[in-house]
Amino acid sequence: MRAYPLALLFVGLLAACSAPPSQSTAQPIQGGLSLPEPARQAPSSAGQVKLSFAPVVRRAAPAVVNISSKRVVRQQVDPFWEMFGGGLPRDRVEGSLGSGVIVRADGVIVTNNHVIEGGQEITVSLADRREYPAKVLLADPRADLAVLKIDATDLPTLAIDGGDDHEVGDLVLAIGDPFGVGQTVTNGIISALNRTEVGSGDNFSYIQTDAAINPGNSGGALVDMNGDLIGLNSFIVSRSGGSVGVGFAIPGAVVRQVVQTALGGGHSVVRPWLGVSAQTVTSDIARTMGMDRPEGVLVDEVYPDSAAARAELAQGDVILSVDGQPVNDASILNYRVGAHMAGDSVTIDYRRKGALHTVHAIAAAPPASPARDEQSLTGREPFQGATVVNLSPAVALELGGDPFAKGVLITEIRGGVAAQYFQPGDIIRQVNGRDISTVAELKAALTDSHRWGVVIERQGQRVEGNFSL
C-alpha cells in the first residue's frame, strides 16, 4: 500500500476492469473517440430500482485480468550473527498482486505501474484461467501506468472512454481482484471529478468514486453504464487501509495517451506543456482585477518560445477554460493540456484587462534546452559521488520539479563526499561566486581548487557552505 500525507490516512491499492458493449460511446484503442451527450435518467419506479447491473458486468468482466509480479531480492544478514561470522545473505522472492484491463484483442493490457514495478517475472491470468507471461511495453511512473503485452489473440477487450462528459452522480462499477479472493464487482457513483490534491504529480486529475475498492484492485477499471473504461483505479484514502468509499481512478484520457504512446513504439510519454506559471484566482485577486467572482488561474510568468508564448498569452492574463472545461488551479491546467498529444490544437479562453478572448494554442512538448548532459562527478571535490543534470522544463517536469527552475540539479548520490552534505533535488546555483547554469560550467568551476564556496537551493531555500578538501 502507498501512504499519502492526508491527516495520517493510509492509502490502499485498487483494481477493476471491463469490456466494450454494443451501446458504448467509446471506440477501440485503434480509433478515435465518439462522445455524444449521454442520456441520464434517475430510476422512476420501484421496478427500475430493482434492475440489475448484470448485463454490463457480463460484457465487461471477461476483459478483467489478474496480474502477479515477482522479483528476487537479497535478504540481509542479522547483524547479531554477522558479528560471529555466521549467516550468509539469502535470496528472497517478493511478489505483488493486482489487476489489469485488456484494451486490444492481440494481448495489449494496461495496469498500474506500481503493480509490476521492479518485477522480473510478470504473469497475466485471464478470466477463463489461462495464464501468460507478459512483457512491459512501456512504464510511466509519473502517471502510475504500465502497458503490457501477452502472446494471445482474439481476446475480449474494454474500450477506453477518454471524454469529459462524465458527471458527479453517474453510476459506475469497479471490477477487480481485492485481496486475491477472485474477481469481484462493486458499484457506486462518481463522487467528484478533477481531484488534484491527492496522489502524486502535478499533471494529473483523478476521478473520485465511492465504489468499494481495496488492496489488490490496483490496475483495474472504473466502468460506466455503457461498459466503457472511464478510469483505472489506482489508490484509496483510508484510516484503516480498507475501503471507506474514498477511491481514486486515473482518467481514461491519460490511460489512452499512455496506451497510444506504447503502441506507437514510444518508451516514455511526452506530455505537452503550455509554458505558464499560474496561481488560482482567489477572492482577493478577483477583487483587485475587477472580476465579479473568483474563477480561472492567473498567469504569473510565460516561458519563452513555449506554446503559451507562441499563442501570445501574457503575464496578468486569467485563463478560464481549456477546450471548454473550467480551469481553477494550475494542476487542472497542466492536466487539460498534458492530456493532448503534441501537435493538437488546444482552445483556451482567457480574460485580459476585463475583456474575454479565445486563442488556439498548439500543444508542444516542454523545451529540452539546455541538453540534459547527465554526468557523475568523481573528482576530489564537494560533489564527488553525485549525479548531476542540466535543468530544462523537460527534465524538471520529468522529475516532478519546477519547470521554470534553472541551474544544475543533483539527481542521485552514491556515496563519496557529496553524501555528507547534499541530497537529490538540490539545485547548484553558485561555486566560488560563479553562477552555475550548466554541468560544463559546474565542472569548470570545480577544477584546480582546494577550497569552494557553494550556494545551493534546497526546497526553495538558499543554502551556503564552504568546503576544503
Q: Which of 68, 114, 234, 321 is catalytic?
A: 114
List the helix and strand counts (H, then E) for the chain. Answer: 11, 27
Give the burial string for 327-346 (b: 16+ CB within 10 Å, else e). Answer: bbbbbbbbbbbbbbeeeeeb
The C-alpha atoms of residue 129 and residue 182 are separated, in whole angstroms, by 11
Handedness of CA 204, 207, 209, 211 (dihedral sign): negative
218 carries an active-site annotation: yes
**CA 104 vs CA 218, 235, 252, 326: distances in Å:** 20, 24, 15, 32
22 carries an active-site annotation: no
Candidates 422, 425, 427; CA nearest to 442 is 427
Candidates 213, 175, 170; CA nearest to 192 is 170
The C-alpha atoms of residue 304 and residue 406 are separated, in whole angstroms, by 13
Q: Which of 18, 68, 144, 166 is catalytic?
A: 144
283 carries an active-site annotation: no
The C-alpha atoms of residue 322 and residue 328 are separated, in whole angstroms, by 11
Task: Provide the grid cell at 299.
Answer: 498567469
**CA 222 vs CA 8, 34, 87: distances in Å:** 26, 19, 48
Query: Which residues are 121's β-sheet partners?
Result: 70
Q: Which of 205, 218, 243, 306 is catalytic?
A: 218
DSSP state of 180: G
Q: Say which amino acid occupies 81.
A: W
- Catalytic residue annotation: 114, 144, 218
